[in-house]
Structure 1
Amino acid sequence: MTDIIKKVEKNILEYNLISAGDKILVGFSGGPDSTALLYSLKKLSRKYDFALAACYINHKIRPRAVKNEIEFCRNTCVKLKAPFSVIEADIPAHADELKISMEEAGHRFRKDALSYMAGELGCNKIALGHHLDDLVETILFRLIRGTGPQGLNPIRPIDNNKIRPLYNISRSEIEQYLQKNKIESVLDRSNLRSKYSRNYIRNKIIPAIERHFGDRYRSSIFNFSRILTEENHFLNALAREETGKIASLTPGGKIVVDLSRFTAYDVWLKRRIIKILLERLSGRRGTGSFEDIDRIMNLPDSRIKALNLTNGINVAADRDLLIFFDRKITIEKSPLNINGITRLKGVDIRIKCSTVGSGKASLKKQKQGRKINIDYSKLILPLYARGIKKGDSFSPLGMTKTKKIGDYLTDKKISRYIRDEIPVLFDQKGVVWLIGHQISNRLKIDESTQKVLTIESIGNETAGIT
């Protein structure tokens, strides 16, 4: 076996990249990196009992070259007896629509496309051709663009179902392997042009570094990245543990943070908690620039109490809460099943209704206001639920005068940023229950009550962030 095969095998064993019975989808462009990846995995597939498939991604950027590349990839896969597929998207149009760079648009599409194809082909893992030089280029790129410690461990040998068997192998080793074994690959000539930032670093900056410092810079940066990875793993575990203590998820998908506890943390921990929450809300790793995180940290002491970030995420400091959200919640009007469970539309809440005799009912609040008992005979059916509307009012339990719901919630110090996900139950006469808070006084149980309607709100307590 050649050295590169030994290194790939060592990586597989050391990082548990592949198990017997795995089916692996290789991202295959026909370039030197992915070609070496496909051949090396094929060489080891029988020994470690795993299967391979390959997928070419057509970005519709280089139409003339793509046809030849697809043909090359198809022929290579026929030779290696690996199933081959092609998936395509108009990346320039996608980038223009999202107002992002073509590099970023291509990166997002590749990630989503490979996950989709893996599912279609029954593959449980995705193998990517990232290597040591990619790691060096990415670290330099992120340092220049701006990043924190978490952004300096960009290429890991395994990341969920994505594996990188070449991650510690240099480009020169890959090229020597292909040359020695007379394995052909294709050259993406766009990589030779320094128009794009990554290409400029690869073609201009790194050669200058190598001329001045020699080729040891790769191992130095690689070791630096490994140290950061290990330390970040520890610090992120601490940050996630603390996040779970102070942050919770609302029924509408907002994230609510206990501001008094948050402000007591050290700066490094605050930054990591905010990063975790921004990534959780956006669903994308890397969300949250240094500037955005800094603005959020300063929000409680600022005259401006709400931020609209560039990625569509909003953050507000209100009373004793820090609230993260990406949209306004709309609770659609839903008729209630008077003897059953109704799932509300717009929030993760179910309403359970059942009737009982008056002797089994209690007037007091139960489960922190999530379960109530009201006089069934005083209702004017049908019942329905919806979100709060401007002008809604009721007479809270114990009061005879009418009070606007907005004023009632203000008196109770309920943040205006989460009021849109508080449902209101109505009958034909008006408000029955402001869920989680108070019933209407007209429906209270008294000595004449014979039949009681029990209503319970299920699943609407805030859930912890994990």
Structure 2
Amino acid sequence: MDDWLSDLLALARQEQLWRPGDTVVAAVSGGPDSMALLHMLHRLAGPERLTLVAAHVDHGFRGEESAREAESVRQYAAALGIACQTVRFDLPAYIEETRMNAQAAAREKRYAFLHEVAANYGAACIALAHHADDQAETVLMRLLRGTGPGGLAGMAMKRSEKNVELIRPLLRTYKADILRYCEQWAVPYSQDSSNGQKYYTRNVVRLEVLPYLASFNPQIAQSLVRLSELASAEDDWLEQETKAVFERYTTKQHDGCQLNRKALLGLHVALQRRLIKLILSYIGLETETTSFDSVETIRLAAADGAASTWSFDVGGGARFLREYDNLVFIRQERPGMTSRQSGYAYVVPEGTAMLNLLEAEAELAFEEMAASEASMPGSRLEALFDAEALQYPLTVRNRIPGDRMQVLGLNGTKKVQDMFVDERVAPSRRDVLPLVIDANGFVLWIPGIRRSRHAQVQATTSRVIRMTMRQAAELP
């Protein structure tokens, strides 16, 4: 085995790119990089017991030229005894229909086809022919557009997508070495004429920007690749730390998650930013498009001097709320769904034993017993009422504007809204917490907050109703 294969095999084992016996789909454009990769994998197929499938996409941009490339790939795969799947797309028509960027549209269709081929053959991985010069271009382009440490990592040697591993075996090999390999092994390849056209940003970076920077540092490509490897390792470590913090500090809920403000402030600023992005990703936001400003807005909203109640539309169906010391991240309701804050009301006839409150993520129990057997409430989530003094049917609902309660121990009435503020009830919870109302419209009890002076248990009371609210975390 020559140095080429020895190095590739060592890299594959180090990075666990494949396992012996795997089926590998090789994405082959017809250029020198992908044709060399196909040839290398073919030479390794025997010792590694790999089953290879070549997959080629004709995007329909270059007419006869791209048709010739497709035929050359088919012929070379046949000469190597490798199964070959090809497809031709009418990308110009697709772009006109979707209004997508040409490169984004081409990538979308290309990767969809590669995944389809992988699924049809039961492949474990898709091999892509990106090389070290591609990596240098990617890092530089991200620098020019503005990126964080994760962006500096560039393309990954290996990453999972749709239950298949995307692998890049040539990511540490430079273009010049690939061309020498093609010459040494007489590997045929085509030259894509569009690679010389400067209306693509990557082509401008490759043809003009990198050569200009090389006048200051002849090893600029190597420097950028080295930067990507350093950033990748550090990004991976930080990501592991962030996931550990996420599991330690966040509380998952049915529509998002929350964490304590002081827990966030206790982290290093780098972990604060990463944790915010990880939470946004957890609730379904595409964080690749989340701006630094959005993350920083959320981070600064947790500061001691910031408003104690505040909300921010992050975009993409995500919303952030600061509610005193709670930081809440929620998925907003999809179109056509009824918001949990749109209001609810349940009629409770006499004799009801249990009421499930989906909107409040709780249940309310009603238990009748002799007054002599009733113990005092153990918390503000329990309350006792004189069974004979209760006016049925009761209603359990969320608050409505103007609600007031005749609070036990106070003269007159007090606004429910003011009680919520006094008790520091989070704004997002104020519209879902239940109020127990009697048939006369009096607010009897707000579980966890206060009870009214109506239907008090007296010395003459013979039977009582014990109401108990259990929250979702306490339910079996």
TM-score (norm 2): 0.71
Kindly indicate whether residue 183 of structure 2 is the aligned counterpart of residue 179 of structure 1.
yes
Q: Is contact 1:55–1:84 with CA below 8 Å preserved after alignment? A: yes
Q: Is contact 1:91–1:102 with CA below 8 Å preserved after alignment? A: no
Kindly indicate whether residue 208 of structure 2 is the aligned counterpart of residue 204 of structure 1.
yes
Partner of residue 280, structure 1: 282
Q: Is contact 2:60–2:88 with CA below 8 Å preserved after alignment? A: no
Q: Is contact 2:255–2:331 with CA below 8 Å preserved after alignment? A: no
Provide the rounded CA distance (Å) in 2 between the counterparts of 1:244 and 1:151.
24
**Letter of the aligned partner of 1:10 in structure 2?**
A
What's the C-alpha RMSD, in Å, of the aligned pairs?
5.0
Provide the rounded CA distance (Å) in 2 between the counterparts of 1:266 and 1:27.
42
Partner of residue 27, structure 1: 27
Partner of residue 464, structure 1: none
Percent identical across equivalent pairs? Answer: 22
Partner of residue 327, structure 2: 322
Q: Is contact 1:31–1:188 with CA below 8 Å preserved after alignment? A: yes
Q: Is contact 1:151–1:286 with CA below 8 Å preserved after alignment? A: no
Q: Is contact 1:25–1:125 with CA below 8 Å preserved after alignment? A: yes
Residues 194-251 of structure 1: CA deviation (Å, up to 9, x unaligned): 212222111111223345533x333333223222223333333333333333333321
Q: Is contact 1:279–1:286 with CA below 8 Å preserved after alignment? A: no
Partner of residue 169, structure 2: 165
Cα shift at 1:138: 1.0
Moved more, 205-214 or 187-196: 205-214
Cα shift at 1:73: 3.9
Q: Is contact 1:391–1:404 with CA below 8 Å preserved after alignment? A: no
Partner of residue 135, structure 2: 135
- Find the residue that maps to 2:19 and give its secondary structure: coil
Cα shift at 1:453: 10
Provide the rounded CA distance (Å) in 2 between the counterparts of 1:453 and 1:113.
60
Cα shift at 1:158: 2.0
Moved more, 21-30 or 303-312: 303-312
Provide the rounded CA distance (Å) in 2 between the counterparts of 1:417 and 1:127.
48
- Find the residue that maps to 1:286 and give its secondary structure: helix
Partner of residue 95, structure 2: 92
- Find the residue that maps to 1:186 and give its secondary structure: coil
Residue from 409, 426, 430 that aligns with 1:415? 426
Residue from 288, 292, 295 that aligns with 1:293? 295
Provide the rounded CA distance (Å) in 1 between the counterparts of 2:384 and 2:109.
52
Moved more, 302-311 or 42-51: 302-311
Kindly indicate whether residue 220 of structure 2 is the aligned counterpart of residue 217 of structure 1.
yes
Q: Is contact 1:26–1:52 with CA below 8 Å preserved after alignment? A: yes
In our comparison, the structure showing a higher alpha carbon Rg is: 2
**Residue 409 and residue 49 in structure 1: after superposition, are their counterparts in 2 closer, same or farther (change >3 A)?**
farther
**Letter of the aligned partner of 2:427 in structure 1?**
R
Q: Is contact 2:355–2:365 with CA below 8 Å preserved after alignment? A: no
Kindly indicate whether residue 232 of structure 2 is the aligned counterpart of residue 229 of structure 1.
yes
The residue correspondences of 1:145-156 to structure 2 (distance < 5 A) are 145-156=145-156
**Residue 168 and residue 419 in structure 1: after superposition, are their counterparts in 2 closer, same or farther (change >3 A)?**
farther
**Residue 195 and residue 456 in structure 1: after superposition, are their counterparts in 2 closer, same or farther (change >3 A)?**
same
Gaps of 5+ in 1: 462-466
- Find the residue that maps to 2:322 and give its secondary structure: strand
- Find the residue that maps to 1:249 and give its secondary structure: strand
Partner of residue 259, structure 2: 257
Cα shift at 1:178: 2.2
**Residue 426 and residue 192 in structure 1: after superposition, are their counterparts in 2 closer, same or farther (change >3 A)?**
farther
**Letter of the aligned partner of 2:181 in structure 1?**
Y
Residue from 271, 285, 290 that aligns with 1:269? 271
- The count of aligned residue pairs is 446
Provide the rounded CA distance (Å) in 1 between the counterparts of 2:47 and 2:406.
73
Point out which structure has higher relative CO (alpha carbons under 8 A, 6+ apart): 1
